[in-house]
Structure 1
C-alpha cells in the first residue's frame, strides 16, 4: 500500500498541451500545464534529417505517448522543420511584413492517434532579396512576447544566422547568412581541417580576424588559405586557427549585415557559445547588444501560440 502511494505521488501529471521544436538534427519536446509551465523536457536526435515523412507521429508518440490521456485529445504545437516540404505536412510560408508565429495559419496534419491534435506553425518568406526562415519565427514571437514594444533588430546565430528587423510587432525584413554551415564545412571538410582545432577560443585572434575581415571582405578567399599557409610555415596553433576562421567568417557577415546592426537596438537570441561570439564581435564594433536564450524564446513563442489557440477555443 505504501509503495503504491509513493508511485502515485511521483507520477508525472497529464499535460494540458505539448510544445515541440523540430529541427533538422534534433527534436525538443516539452510537456506543459495549462499555465504554460514545463512539466517535462525531452530531447531526441530524431530531427527531420533522421526520419521520413511518415515517421513523425510514431516518433512523437514514442517520446510522449505514455503522458497522454486515454480518453481525450491534447494539442501539440510544433515549430521548425515538421512544417518543411519533407516534414510531417508542409506549412506554407507567410510573406513579410507580418507578425511571426501565428497559430491561425498553422498547418494541420491528421494523426492516426485520436489523442493528438497537431498544429505546425508557418515559417516566414521574403520576396526580395529571396529568403526564408522556419523555426526562427517562433523565437522572434517569443522575444516579442517577453519584450512588448521592441523596435529594432534581432540577431539569431546558428547554422544559417538571421538578422531580423522588427517594428510594431511585425517582421519587416530579414537576411540569412550561411556562416555556421560554411564554418563547419571549412573546418571539417576542406584543407583547413588539418590546421583548425576542434575546440577552444582565442579572443585576441578572433577580434583581430573580425576587424580584418570587416575592413577587407573582398579578400576572404585569400585570407582563409593563409590560415593553412601559416600553419605549415610558422606552426600556427590550432585554437588560434579556429578562432581566426570564426572571426573571418563572422566579420564578413557583420560587414554585409551592417545596415541591420549599425546604430540599431540589437538583441542576440542564442545559446551561450554562438551568442558569445556574436556579442564579442558586435561589442568590438561599438554596438551594445542585449542577450536572450534561444531555447527560452522558442518556448515563449510556443506559449504565445498556445494562448492564442486557447482564446479561439481551438
Structure 2
C-alpha cells in the first residue's frame, strides 16, 4: 500500500483544522489536527501550515488534490470562496469552489463555498459541508437540521436542497454573559467535570418559552438570586444555559415545531439541545458532525477534481 494520500480533505475552522488523508479506495488512512485555525493566520501562512500538516502524505512524483471546507474560504481567510444563494441543491457545492494561489508543486487546492440568504440576510460557512454529507447519506430527508454551536444554524432541507436557514448567536451570547457581564459573578466559570443541574436547565428553557417577549428580562434575576438567596453558581449557570437555549427555541419554533428534526453535532451542547427539544415534545435524531464533514468532502470531491 502506498504511504501517500490519493487526495486530502480538510475542515479548516476559526480555531482549529482537521485533515484526512484519503486512499485510492476512498478510505481514511490518516487523520491529523492542528490548532492553526483561520483566526491565527494571515493569507500567506495558510500554504506552509497545510504543507507542514501534510508532511509524509504527499507523493513527490505527483500533485495531490486537497479539498478544503470551512473558514479558509472566508474573507479573512486564505482566499474568499463566494457564497451560493439559497435555495440551492447541495450538489452545487462541488462546482462553486475557489483555487487559492499555490507556490508548491506538490498540491493543488480547492476551497468549497458557503451559503447565503438574501431575506432575511444570513450566511454560513463550513456547516454547508456537514449538511451536504447528511444529504448524501439521507437523500430523501425532508425536515429540519439544527447545528448547535457558537452560532447555531437551523436549516430547512428537502431532498438535498437547502430552502432557507436561520442563525442564532446563542453560544456567543452565553460566553459574553457568563464571562464579561455582571452575571459572571453569579454563574461562575465552567470547570471540567462540572455537572449540569438538569432541573434548573429545564426551568430556564420552559421559562423562556412561556415568557415570550419578557424572557430577556429574566437574565438579571440570576444575579439577584445569587445575592439574595445564595443560589449555587452551578445551578445559575445551568439556568442561564436553559434560558438562552429556550430563547433560541422560541425564535426558531417555525423550524422545529411539527417537523422532523436532526441535530448535527456531538458532546454536551448537542445533548442539551436534544434534552430541551424533547421537553417540548420533539424527538430529535443526532448525527456526528465530524463524520458528516468528511462525507460532504467525499461528495464534493468528484465535481472538483475528477473529469
Q: TM-score range by the shorter chain?
A: over 0.9
Match of 2:295 in 1: 300
User: Cα RMSD over matched residues?
Assistant: 1.4
Match of 1:190 in 2: 181
1:81 to 52, 57, 71: 71
2:135 to 103, 125, 144: 144
Aligned pair 1:283/2:278, yes or no?
Answer: yes
- SS in structure 2 opposite 1:90? coil
Match of 1:94 in 2: 84
2:226 to 224, 228, 231: 231
Shift of 1:202: 1.1
Q: Distance in 2 between matches of 1:264 and 1:291?
A: 15
- SS in structure 1 opposite 2:95? helix
- In structure 2, stretches of 5+ residues that fail to align are none
Shift of 1:189: 1.0
- The size of the alignment, in residue pairs, is 302
Superposed CA deviations along residues 262-288 of structure 1, whole A, max 9, x for unmatched, are 110110001121110100010001001
Superposed CA deviations along residues 139-178 of structure 1, whole A, max 9, x for unmatched, are 1001011112111110000110000001121100000000
Superposed CA deviations along residues 58-86 of structure 1, whole A, max 9, x for unmatched, are 11111113211112111111111100011
- SS in structure 2 opposite 1:65? coil
Match of 2:22 in 1: 32
Matched ranges for 1:55-134 at <5 A = 55-100=45-90, 102-134=93-125
Match of 1:44 in 2: 34
Aligned pair 1:13/2:8, yes or no?
Answer: no
Q: Distance in 1 between matches of 2:212 and 2:169?
A: 15
8 Å Cα contact 2:4/2:56 also seen in 1: no
8 Å Cα contact 2:116/2:122 also seen in 1: yes
8 Å Cα contact 2:110/2:304 also seen in 1: no
Q: Distance in 1 between matches of 2:89 and 2:23?
A: 26
8 Å Cα contact 2:146/2:261 also seen in 1: yes
Match of 2:246 in 1: 251
- In structure 1, stretches of 5+ residues that fail to align are 1-8
- SS in structure 2 opposite 1:191? coil
TM norm structure 1: 0.93
Shift of 1:100: 2.7
Shift of 1:309: 3.5
- SS in structure 1 opposite 2:196? coil
TM norm structure 2: 0.95
Matched ranges for 1:164-203 at <5 A = 164-197=155-188, 198=190, 199-203=194-198
